[in-house]
Amino acid sequence: MHLLFRSTRITQKGARLHGQRTDVRVLNGTIVEMGENLNLGEAQEIVGQDLWMCPGWVDTCARFREPGHEYKETLSSGALAAFRGGFTRVLIQPDTHPMLQSRGEVEAVYQLAKSLPVEVYVAAALTRDLKGQEITEMYDLKRAGARMFSQADAPMESARSLGLALQYARQLDCPVQLVPICRDLARGGLMHEGQMSLRLGLKGIPDLAEHIQVARDLAILAYFGGQLHFTKLSSAASLKHIREARAAGLDVTCGVSSAHLFHCDEDVQRFETDYKLWPPLRSRLDREQLRLGIVDGSIDVICSDHMPEDEQGKNVEFARAEYGMASLEAVFLQVLSVFSKEEELDMAIEALTAKPAGRLGIVQSRMETGSEAEVLVFDRAEQTVFNRSQCATQGVNLPYHGRAFSGRIRAVVFKKQTYLA
């Protein structure tokens, strides 16, 4: 395919034209020319009022449900949803059926993912059956292609096992990925503990359940060493511990889901199960502090936390509903709604590209002449009216049908494949 993007703002820190506007010609998946007033020739012209071009986005936390729950999502449908949402690389979690905890299981996923429009990576199980006790065969899993070792959403209760896992993972130069939660403090909770949970009569989960676990895990990291990534923070109090740990020289990074940047616990007031997330949506103050954490660099990564569910998982009363949102095709809209200033959006894009890629040991293509095109092109000046029927995901748990958002994806190009919207 031959495309010519007119006057698009290049957004990739370190690129020669970062922050500048230029025409970009992409031919058969390669950036072949960049400059002003390029000749159209036989290209399809893409124009807009405020076009931006950045690297394809990198997701550090998604579920494609295959193997085991293909009725909720498959590798194919999940990858297509990711591609249409602007992502070109996705790390999937190990809580499938069977779990991704052996070399054969990891290799099978990579074999199935070869022909997909995005690069799929595996976060292999950190402990056997994700029970937080017995460490998996990490060396074999790394050789099979594991990019991280993860507990998915399961707690890591054994401090000793976490310490040993961090040591083993350090020898393999592979991060450990955790969702910090104290099971005892969170037990039975359905949403954030606060005024809204009191008003709704729902048992709450205090933010203490998160930041007390962050403090414990960081103390273990300081003692044993290694690389630690907190997948999705929800509490502002957790950031204090992260900042202190970094100042002390610990190798720790953290992420937040786009939904936690866009929503807060007030969105649960009508008992809509699409807003039942793990960790729970916190207060407005937490949400704003998380946003500022992206802007000042304290939070490294924005992830999708894509968790597709079927009707039986979500079309039930709130207490019985499964956690999660099928968010891959909504992340772009959420992020552009939250980060409206250019300099803030630059930081958000870095948290969706260079920073997660670096943590995963991935080198993305540079936006330079002669490079393979791995790009997302969007127009900030246009609007998108979200249409659930046009989504590629099989998950039913997306709440935005008919809602208008600022921003519109115009094109995604990767692996010589193109999506035009």
Distances (CA, A) of 255 to 77, 242, 275, 305: 25, 11, 19, 10
Q: In the numeric block, which tokens belong to residue 357?
A: 């890629």
- Residue 171 to residue 158: CA distance in whole angstroms: 20
Does any domain span residue 326? yes
Residue 72, classified by CB atoms within 10 Å of its CB into exposed (0-12), middle (13-18) or buried (19+), is buried
Q: Do 346 and 235 belong together in one domain?
A: yes
Average pLDDT, the chain: 97
What digits encode the pLDDT tens for the residues 1-46? 999 999 999 999 999 999 999 999 999 999 999 999 999 999 999 9
Q: Output the pLDDT for position 255.
A: 98
Q: Do 347 and 297 belong together in one domain?
A: yes
Task: Provide the number of structural domains found in the chain.
Answer: 2
Listed as ranges, residues in the chain with pLDDT below 50 are none
Q: Do 168 and 67 belong together in one domain?
A: yes
Q: Do 195 and 322 belong together in one domain?
A: yes
Give the CATH number, domain containing residue 38. Answer: 2.30.40.10
Does any domain span residue 248? yes
Long-range contacts of 244-248 (CB under 8 A, 24+ apart): 245/218, 245/221, 248/222
Q: Do 231 and 158 belong together in one domain?
A: yes
Angle at 233 between CA 166 and CA 288, to 5 degrees: 150
Q: Do 280 and 413 belong together in one domain?
A: no
Q: Output the pLDDT for position 46.
A: 98
Does any domain span residue 400? no
Q: Do 84 and 107 belong together in one domain?
A: yes
Q: Do 19 and 132 belong together in one domain?
A: no
Catalytic residue IDs: 305
Does any domain span residue 76? yes
Q: Do 97 and 8 belong together in one domain?
A: no
Give the CATH number, domain containing residue 252. Answer: 3.20.20.140
Does any domain span residue 399? no
Q: Output the pLDDT for position 68.
A: 97
Angle between helices 284-296 and 236-247 (to 10 degrees): 30
What digits encode the pLDDT tens for the residues 339-357? 999 999 999 999 999 999 9
Does any domain span residue 398? no
Q: What residue numbers bound the domain in which 373 lies?
A: 2-53+368-393+405-420
Look up tokens 């820190």; give the residue: 13
Q: Which helix (H) or strand (E) holds 333?
A: helix 331-338
Q: Do 157 and 303 belong together in one domain?
A: yes
Does any domain span residue 416? yes
Q: Do 388 and 339 belong together in one domain?
A: no
Q: Output the pLDDT for position 335.
A: 98
Write down the pTM of the prediction.
0.97
Contacts for 342 with CB less than 8 Å, ≥ 6 apart: none
Distances (CA, A) of 366 to 10, 11, 19, 400: 11, 11, 14, 34
Q: Do 142 and 167 belong together in one domain?
A: yes
Cβ proximity of 386 and 401 under 8 Å: yes
